[in-house]
Structure 1
Amino acid sequence: MNTRAERRAQQQREQSEEFDNLTREIADPAAEDSDDGRPPKRPLLSSFRFWIPISILLILIAAVVISALAGKHVYDRAMAAKTSLERAVPLAAQAADAVAAGENAAAKETVAEISALTADAKKQTDDDIWKSLEWVPVAGPNLYAVRTAASVTDDLVRDALSPATDLSLAALKPVDGAIDLSGIAGMSDIVSQASAAVTKAAAQLDTIQQDELIPQVSGALEKLTGSVDELEPMLKPAAEILGVLPAALGAENSRNYLVLIQNNAESRGTGGNPAALVMINVDQGRISIDQQASSGDFDNGRRSPVTELNPETAALYGDKIGRYMQDSTLSPDFTETAGIMRAWWAEEFGTPIDAVVSFDPVALGYLLEATGPVAVPNETVESGGYTGQVLKKPLTLTHKNAVSFLLSKIYSEYPVPERQDAVFATSAKAVFNGLTSGSAEPKALLTALTRATDEGRLMYQPATESEAKLVGESRLSGKLPSTNATSTMVGAYVNDITEGKLDYYMQLDLAATSTQCTAPDAPVFGVTATLTNTLTPDQAAGLARYVAPARFFAKGDVATNLVLYGPVGAKTVSVTVDGQPAKATLKSHLGRPAALVRIENTPGQKHTVAATFEGASGEYGPLEMRHTPMVRSTPVELEAAGCGG
């Protein structure tokens, strides 16, 4: 079916042809008989080709008269609708804030006010005289747009905002170690209803011919359309996630989640050495830690990989990724890590694992901002060969000290590796207990988890195909995008080969450039990574042996396999270190070119590695840089000339 714009254009073409024909007939009145063999023409006044344009002209004249008579009527209604909607806008923000804060009673009162205002705006524009003028050129499309916008706004308030006042983020909040599954189901119903309302609103707004609107109307409409366009892609996946969440929380069957706690002080592609492991069981919403383990519990250094490896992965990173549990996180793709860790766990313990989660101490610090400080219990434990009390002195973890203690001070205060593992595991358990106790405010908790996900510190390899479909290739999945369509991702991944915990002191700075918008047929991409060893020689000399064992490198020196990735389908053109051509291992991995460069940084030294990649002609989304989540914040500079923004 043709769009409104296409139908209107066709009518205009037909009218133009009729007027052209009319002009020709008036200029050359034909005789009854034609000398060119065509049928004789009827008298002009009896020709329908005359009456069509004349009728249109008469109707337009009538419309002008009606507009003159009804102009004040329409104007008054438009101003009344405008006033109501303007009063509703700030109230909508208040209502949303109240819902987020859990103040549902206040939200309901505010939404009642909004509902009255939007209903009035809809009533003012849903008028027979108003509608009768919607076909008039220039004014008509604008009147239709205003009426549609008022109707859409009222529908959204009724079908989305009003039900949202029954939402309670507290339903996501564990209480005494359990989450209320019925509360999750209620949230799912509300969000699904809101999602359907927003989808309907988007369809209604699509009927408006925006190219025919005056600036005053188009400007206001853009705000409404922008809000709907922003909400639609958020609400649909939210509804889907809430739909599968009960099953993920053990509503149907008990589930086991293997949680890797990656140690960023010893960097690996997806974060760090996964030396601490926790198996969490979830059954009917009740969450508990069933088992803990450390890297020493596994058969490291085995002759063959624990599971079959991707040949490209083995070619780039070596088969040690499957022979040493500590190296299972070398690849930047968490899907590979999860598969390898499942195999390690199955071989050693045999406990069935449904899904795999990754977290790091920096993200634990984010959680502590939400939960508040947690006291680490001084328990007597048996862990990896160590038996005894965990702590030498009382320990309270906060968002300010968690990273420095867990990734640095622990090694000087607890020099025995097995006891370090015990302290690490007990600390993780304490944070977990604080999280499941219900002490964290839901909004603060969601903020912490979102930040961790955006930084690649929280990753999830799903248990079912339906969950995997929802997670897709999002940051939560830990997958590298398989195409350049949505984003043109390049990457820089840090793998420590020092055999220590010196990445606590390493600073990573990144930059990426692209000519995808200025040379789309043969775009060139540049990736630059600067690694700086922030230690001073004096600091290096005083480091604990476990932090800087100096077995293969001088004490305080940091050796790194730095891997730079180009976009999907590109090829490596050049690699330099500090501006000079460098020896690099060039391989294809995950559909991308990868360049591995080994560098060593003495205390205070920095090196800059740069790679240039050439892409093929094709579709390229916005330039994006991903990287190993480090202990220290990683500044990223992006430059895509000609792409705007």
Structure 2
Amino acid sequence: MSNGLAEDDVPPVREEERRRRPILVAVLLVILVLLLGAAWIGFRAYLARGELKDALADVQAARSAVESGNTAQARSIAADLSRHARSAADLTSDPIWRAGEAVPWFGSDLAAVRTVAAATDTLASQVVEPLASAAAAVDPRQLTLSHGRIDLAPLIAAGPAVEKAETGFVAAQRQIDAIDEGQLVSPVSRAVTKMRTMLDAAGGQLEAVANTARLLPGMLGADGPRTYLVVAQNPAEIRATGGLIGSVTEIRTDHGAITLAAQSASFGPWAQPVFDVPAPTTALFGTVVGRYLQDANVTPDFALAARTASAMWVHEHGGVVDGVIALDPVVLSGLLRAAGPVSLPTGDTLTADNAVQLLLSDVYHRYSNPADQDAFFASAAGAVFAEVADGGASGSALVDVLAQAGASDRVRIWSSRPAEQRVLADTTLAGGLPVSTPDNAALGVYFNDATGGKMDYYLGSSVSAGAKVCRADGRVTSRVEVTLSNRAPANAATTLSDYVTGGDLFGVARGSILTRIAFYGPQGGLLGGVRSGGAGLPSVTGSDGGRPVAVVEVELTPGESKTVDVEFLGTAQKRPGVTVAVTPTLNGDGTTPVMGAPKAIGTIAVPCTPGVK
């Protein structure tokens, strides 16, 4: 007799529990694995956060050390940065972390953290370390100019390191740009934004360093002698790129040695153009562009102006021109502030404080013969060049002056070597026509004197712009407004010399200022209208490089002001951004413009009138 239960008598509930037990165990194991994985990832994320925080601090510290010229400290910081960055990359790239990236909700955050860590490691090993080791050689401030020579050997030796750094920087930028911040939690998104901001801020500086290493050796004659023209632009008689070309100095470079070869105050004109100026430029500005040195730069395209001026020089003097550098007395005043006063053959002492007034105003009261005026200007430029070439200013001071001049559009450089010109074309030194984007209508406002004197010493100007989408098709309407003022004394007609007033030579009354303003619209855009005082204003219209152009004349008596506004319709812009490139001018009151920033552009509203729509 058995008192146990037969198999058929086992309660159904217990059987169900026995069957569920393996499933429950499996679920518990999965949960345990997930918890352990989450704990593993969380712990490593905490450690990686600390490493990344230290690494980003090191990036900023290394940048500051390089900027201050402390290369030894930069190298030490770079080594510390590499340790933190490598550790962060290792902590965020193991198989468990990579598996976690496949989990919904927070997988994209893990991928973003890993990408930031990898990009930081790229910056440390491929950008900061190479640059820290080569910083002294490629920092323009460390380049010394002594007895007319720069030692190019360190700069040439640093070339490979700089090239590696530039490649690494681009790779890191691409890694960060690939992150979609819209999918991220706030702390991770902020970290990505901070990284992007840091890269954007460092990009311009790295580009400057790379361009220095890429351009300077060749331009200073590392591969053989070079010949350059330094053209002095006179903004008292304004031209689109800055001012009438008052004198030309030929300099030669050979393995770092810089010598002044020749000077010429003026040459030409020619009955026929000596350079094949494009037909659209001739249609807008006339044949004078290719016939008169003084008018080679009525076009705002500096590369074209430089090619034309160099062709004129070769036509007159022969030889080969490898490039053109343009600057004005405002830049000379900056160089004098860096190098100190210089003595001129006339007995004058040229200083940073008196250079603009002496060269652009006083000289015309002193000399009535234009040849004497040009000779005075040439001697001043030569004296400043000699002082700088002899080591009268530190590399740091010179770089600061040239950087400020570049930002103010008062120094331009063109190279006849295509490879070098391609590099220059992407910098502020190139003086190219403004380039629009889908987000921004890039406009231009350029001034050319038509008085035939030096009255632009008294010309005041202000520029404002705005843009708005007024049309149903989404096209952007941009508007630019220019106000010119004649700040000459009321008795200018009798107190200023005929050379300054123009002497009514071109039909402009003594004391008045006649200015031609060239308004350039966005690429592919259309000219909407030209007005002054609410009424239409006659203009010469055309195109330049696919940009609509309107050229108008404004004549002002002493004390008079006039405003001209022009509208353009963009065909490629999707958003109402607007920027304006403007000819660098004088203040109009005898004071020296402050270098370091482009001309301030005011903001105006664009009303959506029926005409705009």
Which TM-score band applies after superposition, normalised by the shorter structure? 0.7 to 0.9
Q: Deviations over 1:96-121 (max 9, x none)?
A: 12212221122223333434433443
2:172 pairs with 175, 180, 201, which one? Answer: 201
Q: Name the CA distance, whole Å, in 2 between partners of 1:597 and 1:431.
A: 37
2:386 matched residue in structure 1: 433
Q: Name the CA distance, whole Å, in 2 between partners of 1:97 and 1:439.
A: 27
Displacement of 1:625 after TM fit? 0.9
Question: Structure 2 regions of 5+ residues with no counterpart?
Answer: 1-21, 588-592, 594-598, 608-613
1:293 matched residue in structure 2: 264
1:121 pairs with 88, 102, 108, which one? Answer: 88
SS across alignment from 2:398: helix
Q: 1:476 to 1:124 in 2, by over 3 A?
A: same
TM-score relative to the length of structure 2: 0.84
1:269 matched residue in structure 2: 240
Q: 1:134 to 1:63 in 2, by over 3 A?
A: farther
Task: Write the mapping of 1:405-420 to structure 2, written as runs, cut at 5 A.
Answer: 405-420=358-373
1:156 is matched by which residue type in structure 2? L
Decide whether the 8 Å contact of 1:171 with 1:184 is kept in 2.
no
2:293 pairs with 325, 345, 352, which one? Answer: 325
Displacement of 1:533 after TM fit? 0.8
The answer to whether the aligner puts 1:554 opposite 2:515 as a matched pair is no
1:510 matched residue in structure 2: 463
The answer to whether the aligner puts 1:397 opposite 2:364 as a matched pair is no
Displacement of 1:277 after TM fit? 0.5
Decide whether the 8 Å contact of 1:456 with 1:629 is kept in 2.
yes
Q: 1:575 to 1:239 in 2, by over 3 A?
A: same
Q: Deviations over 1:536-558 (max 9, x none)?
A: 31466433443225334333211
Q: 1:242 to 1:487 in 2, by over 3 A?
A: farther
Displacement of 1:257 after TM fit? 0.6
Q: Name the CA distance, whole Å, in 2 between partners of 1:90 and 1:517.
A: 46
Q: Deviations over 1:5-56 (max 9, x none)?
A: xxxxxxxxxxxxxxxxxxxxxxxxxxxxxxxxxxxxxxxxxxxxxxxxx99x
Q: Name the CA distance, whole Å, in 2 between partners of 1:164 and 1:595.
A: 47
The answer to whether the aligner puts 1:136 opposite 2:103 as a matched pair is yes
Task: Write the mapping of 1:487-502 to structure 2, written as runs, cut at 5 A.
Answer: 487-502=440-455
Displacement of 1:181 after TM fit? 1.9
The answer to whether the aligner puts 1:85 opposite 2:40 as a matched pair is no
Q: 1:136 to 1:316 in 2, by over 3 A?
A: closer
Task: Write the mapping of 1:344-423 to structure 2, written as runs, cut at 5 A.
Answer: 344-369=312-337, 371-378=338-345, 391=346, 393-398=347-352, 400-423=353-376
Q: Deviations over 1:251-274 (max 9, x none)?
A: 222111112111000011211110
SS across alignment from 1:161: helix
Q: Deviations over 1:396-419 (max 9, x none)?
A: 322x33222221222224444323
SS across alignment from 2:221: coil
Q: 1:580 to 1:139 in 2, by over 3 A?
A: closer
1:253 matched residue in structure 2: 224
Displacement of 1:584 after TM fit? 2.2
Q: 1:175 to 1:485 in 2, by over 3 A?
A: farther
Q: Name the CA distance, whole Å, in 1 between partners of 2:229 and 2:573.
A: 39
1:599 is matched by which residue type in structure 2? V
1:626 is matched by which residue type in structure 2? A
1:223 matched residue in structure 2: 194
Q: Deviations over 1:500-537 (max 9, x none)?
A: 11101111111223235866644333222111011231
Decide whether the 8 Å contact of 2:476 with 2:576 is kept in 1.
no
2:602 is matched by which residue type in structure 1? E
1:588 matched residue in structure 2: 543
2:42 matched residue in structure 1: 75
2:583 pairs with 606, 621, 628, which one? Answer: 628
Q: 1:121 to 1:558 in 2, by over 3 A?
A: same
Decide whether the 8 Å contact of 1:294 with 1:421 is kept in 2.
yes
Q: Over aligned residues, Cα RMSD in angstroms? A: 3.2
1:445 matched residue in structure 2: 398
2:148 pairs with 149, 168, 177, which one? Answer: 177
2:274 matched residue in structure 1: 306
Q: Deviations over 1:57-113 (max 9, x none)?
A: 999865542343455554343333323333443443232122122211222233334
The answer to whether the aligner puts 1:606 opposite 2:571 as a matched pair is no
Q: 1:440 to 1:157 in 2, by over 3 A?
A: farther
SS across alignment from 1:326: helix
Decide whether the 8 Å contact of 1:508 with 1:529 is kept in 2.
yes
Decide whether the 8 Å contact of 1:482 with 1:590 is kept in 2.
no
1:145 is matched by which residue type in structure 2? A
2:424 matched residue in structure 1: 471
Q: Name the CA distance, whole Å, in 2 between partners of 1:217 and 1:59.
A: 34
Instruction: Return 94-103 or 447-456, whichever deviates more.
Output: 447-456
1:388 matched residue in structure 2: none
Q: 1:203 to 1:333 in 2, by over 3 A?
A: closer
Displacement of 1:203 after TM fit? 4.4
Q: Name the CA distance, whole Å, in 2 between partners of 1:234 and 1:487.
A: 24
Q: 1:184 to 1:171 in 2, by over 3 A?
A: farther
Decide whether the 8 Å contact of 2:541 with 2:548 is kept in 1.
yes
SS across alignment from 1:339: helix
TM-score relative to the length of structure 1: 0.80
Q: Name the CA distance, whole Å, in 2 between partners of 1:413 and 1:60.
A: 99
2:602 matched residue in structure 1: 637
Q: Name the CA distance, whole Å, in 2 between partners of 1:172 and 1:621.
A: 43
Q: 1:513 to 1:66 in 2, by over 3 A?
A: same
Q: 1:177 to 1:201 in 2, by over 3 A?
A: same
Q: Name the CA distance, whole Å, in 1 between partners of 2:57 and 2:436.
A: 41
Decide whether the 8 Å contact of 1:531 with 1:608 is kept in 2.
yes
1:26 matched residue in structure 2: none
Instruction: Return 261-270 or 339-348, whichever deviates more.
Output: 339-348
1:328 is matched by which residue type in structure 2? A
Displacement of 1:158 after TM fit? 2.7
Q: 1:337 to 1:584 in 2, by over 3 A?
A: same
SS across alignment from 1:515: strand
Displacement of 1:606 after TM fit? 0.5
Displacement of 1:286 after TM fit? 0.9
Instruction: Return 563-572 or 419-428, whichever deviates more.
Output: 563-572
2:359 is matched by which residue type in structure 1? L
Q: Name the CA distance, whole Å, in 2 between partners of 1:130 and 1:572.
A: 57
Decide whether the 8 Å contact of 1:278 with 1:289 is kept in 2.
yes
Instruction: Return 593-602 or 256-265, whichever deviates more.
Output: 593-602
Displacement of 1:281 after TM fit? 0.5
SS across alignment from 2:501: coil
Displacement of 1:608 after TM fit? 0.9
The answer to whether the aligner puts 1:66 opposite 2:19 as a matched pair is no
Decide whether the 8 Å contact of 1:198 with 1:231 is kept in 2.
no
Task: Write the mapping of 1:562-577 to structure 2, written as runs, cut at 5 A.
Answer: 562-577=517-532
Q: Name the CA distance, whole Å, in 1 between partners of 2:432 and 2:330.
A: 20
Q: Deviations over 1:256-313 (max 9, x none)?
A: 1112111000011211110111111011111111111112xx233x433333333332
Q: Name the CA distance, whole Å, in 2 between partners of 1:493 and 1:514.
A: 19
2:590 matched residue in structure 1: none
Q: Name the CA distance, whole Å, in 2 between partners of 1:151 and 1:576.
A: 56
Decide whether the 8 Å contact of 2:475 with 2:574 is kept in 1.
no
Displacement of 1:604 after TM fit? 0.7
1:107 matched residue in structure 2: 74
SS across alignment from 1:623: strand
2:12 matched residue in structure 1: none
Q: Name the CA distance, whole Å, in 1 between partners of 2:489 and 2:456.
A: 14
What count of residue pairs does the alignment treat as equivalent? Answer: 570
Q: 1:88 to 1:562 in 2, by over 3 A?
A: same
1:152 matched residue in structure 2: 119
Q: Name the CA distance, whole Å, in 2 between partners of 1:337 and 1:60.
A: 78
Identity percentage over the alignment? 32
Q: 1:129 to 1:428 in 2, by over 3 A?
A: same
